[in-house]
Amino acid sequence: MIEFIERLRNETDVNTMSPLTWAYVGDAVYELFVRVNLVNNANMKPHKLHIESIKYVKAGAQAEILKKIEDKLTDKEKEVVKRGRNAENHHLPKNATVQEYMYSTGFEALIGYLYLTKQDERLKEILNECM
């Protein structure tokens, strides 16, 4: 997906990172995926693309996506989600409930973890379930 960005970490290094770091990366990877997907599949002006992308990247939408795909995740992926969801985050969500925000952090952690551990095929499978 994002082959031009060098990923220098190995799985052992990634496993020692904070789940919030995975979520930080996952947020960027997921947003880029959504934006490129919209550009490729919708003939809209940038402002309309932005409005449409918000429907996918807001915390409530990510929480719903996670609930939809949860039963398709491996045990390891469920563990990553749980670590992301339960990570102590002092950020208070503006447009979501605390529970939605926690689940969206778990979703973003999963996306970031898969990206950082170079599990590109699995990442593509999960991202394609999202749209």
Annotated catalytic residues are: 27
Rg (alpha carbons) of the chain, rounded to whole number: 14
Cβ atoms < 10 Å from Cβ of 115: 24
What does the angle CA 8 – CA 12 – CA 16 come to, to the nearest 5 degrees? 100
